[in-house]
A and B are shown apart, each in its own frame.
Chain A
Amino acid sequence: MHKLFARQIAKTTKPTGEVDIAALGELVIEAYTQADRDRRRTDRSIGLMIEELDQLNRGLEQLVEERTTALRERENELQEQNLRFNAALQNMSQALLLFDGAHKLSICNQRYIEMYGLSTEVVKPGCTFRTLLEHRKERGNFPDDVEQYLTNHRAAMARGQIYSRIVELSDGRTIVVVNHPMATGGWVSTHEDITERRRAEKQIAHMARHDALTNLANRVQFQERLAQALAEIPRGERLAVLYLGLDQFKSVNDTLGHNMGDELLKIVAGRLRNTVRDIDTVARLAGDEFAIIQVNLERPTDTANLARRIGEAIRAPVDLAGQTIVTDASIGIAIAPADGTATSDIMKNADMALHGAKAEGRGSYRFFEPEMDARMKRRRELEQALRRALAVGEFELHFQPIVNVADNHITSCEALIRWNHPERGMIPPAEFIPIAEEIGLIVQLGEWVLRTACADAVHWPDDTKVAVNLSPIQVMNKSLVPMVVSALAATGLPATRLDIEITESVLMQNTDTTINALHQLRELGVSISMDDFGTGYSSLSCLHKFPFDKIKIDRSFISGLPESADSIAIVRAVAGLAKNLNMITTAEGVETQQQLDQIRMLGCTEMQGYLFSRPCRAEDLLKLFPSRYEMRALSA
């Protein structure tokens, strides 16, 4: 019997032994109902559980799928990364090695094998550091001692220090090796061939200190060497600095072109080098400027001898593209310590001496003298004073009349500039005009002269011209014609009353431009005179170049009169020539009656000189003109 049913019967059996059938029925029905509920519940829960587990399973499957995909992607990514890494490793210009904590090779790129010409049989993953070094030693590509190197390397790696060294290989290559320790106890080592880089660096360093054209020392190196030599100069010894400038180098450049000019500089550089000793320094400072440091001077004459030898070397003819050129050099010399012990002083003094030599003429050499310095100072002061003078009106014009030898009538007056210096008094033009030309003040100064002269001339008799000197620089200036027009317009002086005096040297330079300008002035009515005729080299050819209105015969010929036969001949010839060319002739510097008589006899039409009048101020000049009344009487 079922245990439960037995229990149900027992529970429903009365004390009399009789079973309460109704009660038993209820229990049985309840048990069935309960069993049914339990079954339904079980069914339901099992169903739900299956559903849940199925859902969970699907979730897991999806998760597995997703993770598998992710893993595959990661794997592909890794593979690609690996490829990229490998490509980078094999294509890098540096050699790269990776060692593990056991000092065994993990990675090595092809570049390393190639760099040292190694065998891949030996150099492969797993090979020890020692084996690798020994293999390199065997191939002659490891200059150090293997044992020593291993000891040092281990010590550096243990300290965790990055260390690098530069290895010079026996074949001339330079390799820089850098070792980076890693946390694993291993290290990464890179090797880079820096041979080319070093060469380039050396080249750059060389260029910084050498002149590219001649390969001589440049100014930078020259100054360094000089400073060094000055610092090391032993007591009682001397050194010399020679500054050298080629004469007329500009004209070589202009006529033969820059390439030929460069060739010439190279040849000169070579000759200079050959002339000095090895312990001396030759440098090119700029353009045609060279400098030499002569050390260990033994005899006082050493430097002069060197300067002479240089002169001889430079003067030797040069063959440039079929043309034979002869050049020469001026040399300025400064001696240390006598002329200074500072680099800048010595260089400045040598330069000053060079100016002195140039001023003296071609092919000479000059030692620095303290007076040069003083002159230079004076000159600089003069420059400054000149600029100031124009601004504050320290210049004034004096006039010297030119008179017709036939009737003593004043035909024109030459304007002559004077500088009334507040301290030094009157300074002659010969002293300041060259400086004004050099510093470019001449154009302004010339304009002032022209305007002032025209303004003064307005007050003179109508038939009296004013003569104004123009410097070559003024004539070459493009604004010459407008300047003259403007001066005439401003003062109201008729162009026919202006006479421009130029010297031969004006025609020597930039001829076309100059002659055009002169023609334009002529067309305005201005007359043009040739001044100081006979002092230049090609006076006659000048007459051919431009139809001057007047020739002024230089005072040097007149001063020879009346005795010098040569002077007489020249004056007569010039006067004759002028007459034929329809030009007026003025004799300059006539001081005596005899001279006047003679020039009149020789055919000169005008005279200028102390005999008639010294140059005088404008107000004094007016007294020389006859009064209006007299003028009228004269003309009557």
Chain B
Amino acid sequence: MRIDELSWSETKGWSRHNASVVRNGHAHNGDARKTDLVLYFGAREPLANGMRYQELRAMFPDAHVVGCSTGGQIHNDDISDNEISVAALSFEATEIRLSREPAHAPEQSRKCGEAIGKTLAASDLAGIFVLSDGLNVNGSELVAGIMSVVGQSVPVTGGLAGDGAQFKETLVGADCVPRNHLVAAVGFYGPAIRIGHGSAGGWDEFGPRRSITRSSGHVLHELDGSPALDLYERYLGEEEVKGLPGSALLFPLRIYDPQRPKHDLVRTVLAVDRDARSMTFAGDMPAGWVAQLMRGNFDRLAAGAADAARQASRTIAKNFEGDGLAVLVSCIGRRLLMGQHTTGEVEAVGAEFGPRMTRLGFYSYGEISPHAVSGVCELHNQTMTVTAITEAIG
């Protein structure tokens, strides 16, 4: 596998970074193999006008060009807000298939997932990487829909597109100008491909365990019989209440079925309804489940990211040929909390993988990855999830 890394900024326009680009001069020229897949992550503003997509399409006319808006892009050890980070992948022996489905409303998320599953399902399907609208999709249902078709043995990873701390609109592109209400999924096929995955949070739970006493889908109404928003506002204090819903990311909720306390999930807030005193989360909030507030410590969050990288690196080929790509999808909440310290978690992932693995990724409104304990693909929040993509020799 070969990777070309590119970036775009307002001031510099497109620039190439890695040795292979230097070595080959241009993506088009000289190389016998054409590019199969282009992944790009960027702020909503520069992506919205479609110019950048057209430019990428021109650069990689035969490749599937897939990307989304973010809450910050990761490119190796750097985190940027206004740039666009790109990785162009050429596979030796792996086939790529792209599925694109509209996502009109959260209630249709499962159907949307099922449609994707049907498009991509195949006996040699080795993994699916999903990028979804971050505000109009119930991520849990989307993943459940895909899995209901392809089965649990196929790892499904990816994330929900972001919009910084604004939560206004998220965009996804799949061989098209990035737009909202869209879900893109890339299927990887063949015996050579090795897809590793890891997911970890590193958050510390604190305060009493509460019970979800009223909810509907991914809207949480009450905890222990009191409006959920009241609790958050109390914890945030006046200063942070203004920053809702973004500031609620500082206190994610750990939830679990009281029958299966080890299979806990972390949920993060997407929106608040100040009149109804309810909060909309990125995934289901089943009534009767236990909920506990979480808070982050910079060092432990970074250690969590390292843990996710370790999990993912177990699955990658030991002597993989060419380059390897680690796609990092981390939660916007982590970034909001850590501020300048966020770089620490990206560096921690890099330290685990070493220099051969190119790292590209983004801060999201939700992460998709198999659960570390159950192995069942889920929507996560407030985690760092890592998808490692390599090809095995021979």
Contact = CB atoms under 8 A, between A and B. Distances in A.
Contacts of B340: 4, 7-8, 27, 30-31, 34
A144 B208 CA distance: 71
Interface string A51-81: 0110010000000000000000000000000
Contacts of A41: 236-237, 240, 250
Contacts of B293: 45
A8 B341 CA distance: 10
A44 interface: yes
Question: What size tier do the contact residues of chain A reach?
Answer: 20 to 34
Contacts of B234: 48
Given A4-B340, A41-B250, A42-B295, A53 B207 contact: yes
A110 B208 CA distance: 58
B239 A49 contact: no
Interface string A306-338: 000000000000000000000000000000000
Nearest to B344: A3
A37 interface: yes
B237 A53 contact: no
For chain B, what secondary structure do more than half of its interface residues adopt (helix, strand, loop), or is it mixed?
A: helix
A38 interface: yes
Interface string B228-256: 00000011110110000000001100000
A40 interface: yes
Interface in A1-53: 3-4, 7-8, 27, 30-31, 34, 37-38, 40-42, 44-46, 48-49, 52-53
A44 to B, nearest CB: 5
B339 A40 contact: no
Interface in B198-223: 206-208
Interface in B288-329: 293, 295
Nearest to B337: A38
B305 to A, nearest CB: 15
B343 interface: yes
A49 B236 CA distance: 12
B237 A44 contact: yes
B208 A4 contact: no
Contact of A4 (B237, B251, B341): B341
Among A38, A42, A44, A56, max chain B CB count under 10 A is at A38
B339 A49 contact: no
A188 B344 CA distance: 78
Nearest to A55: B208
Contacts of B240: 41
A30 B344 contact: no
A53 B208 CA distance: 6
Interface in B325-350: 337, 339-341, 343-344
Given A7-B343, A53-B207, A53-B208, A45 B235 contact: yes
Given A42-B295, A52-B208, A56-B208, A37 B239 contact: yes
Interface residues of B, number: 19
B341 A40 contact: no
Among B206, B236, B239, B337, max chain A CB count under 10 A is at B206
Contacts of A30: 339-340
A45 to B, nearest CB: 6
A113 B297 CA distance: 77
A293 B343 CA distance: 129
Contacts of A48: 207, 234-235
A12 to B, nearest CB: 12
Contact of A40 (B239, B251, B295): B239
B322 to A, nearest CB: 29
A34 B339 contact: yes
Among B234, B251, B293, B340, max chain A CB count under 10 A is at B340
For chain A, what secondary structure do more than half of its interface residues adopt (helix, strand, loop), or is it mixed?
A: helix
Interface in A389-405: none
B333 to A, nearest CB: 13
Among A8, A45, A48, A56, max chain B CB count under 10 A is at A45
A160 to B, nearest CB: 40
Contacts of A52: 207-208
A38 B339 CA distance: 10
A40 B343 contact: no
B295 A45 contact: yes
Given A40-B237, A40-B239, A56-B208, A45 B251 contact: yes
A1 to B, nearest CB: 15
Given A37-B239, A40-B237, A40-B239, A45 B206 contact: yes
Contacts of A38: 337, 339
B168 to A, nearest CB: 23
A443 to B, nearest CB: 99
Interface string A496-532: 0000000000000000000000000000000000000
Contacts of B208: 52-53, 56
A40 B343 CA distance: 22
B341 A44 contact: no
B87 to A, nearest CB: 23
A374 to B, nearest CB: 104
Nearest to A30: B340
Interface in A131-159: none
Contacts of A44: 235, 237
Contact of B206 (A27, A31, A49): A49
A30 B339 CA distance: 9
Nearest to B209: A56
Nearest to A35: B339
Contacts of A27: 340
A37 B236 CA distance: 11
Nearest to B207: A49
A417 to B, nearest CB: 111
A31 B339 contact: yes
A621 B207 CA distance: 139
A54 to B, nearest CB: 10
A34 B343 CA distance: 15
A56 B210 CA distance: 11
A14 to B, nearest CB: 14
A27 to B, nearest CB: 7
19 contacts: A3-B344, A7-B340, A8-B340, A27-B340, A31-B339, A34-B339, A34-B340, A37-B239, A38-B337, A38-B339, A40-B237, A44-B235, A44-B237, A45-B206, A46-B206, A48-B235, A49-B207, A52-B208, A56-B208
When A and B form their complex, which 6 residue pairs have the shortest distance between CB atoms, in order from nearest? A34-B339, A49-B207, A31-B340, A56-B208, A44-B237, A49-B206
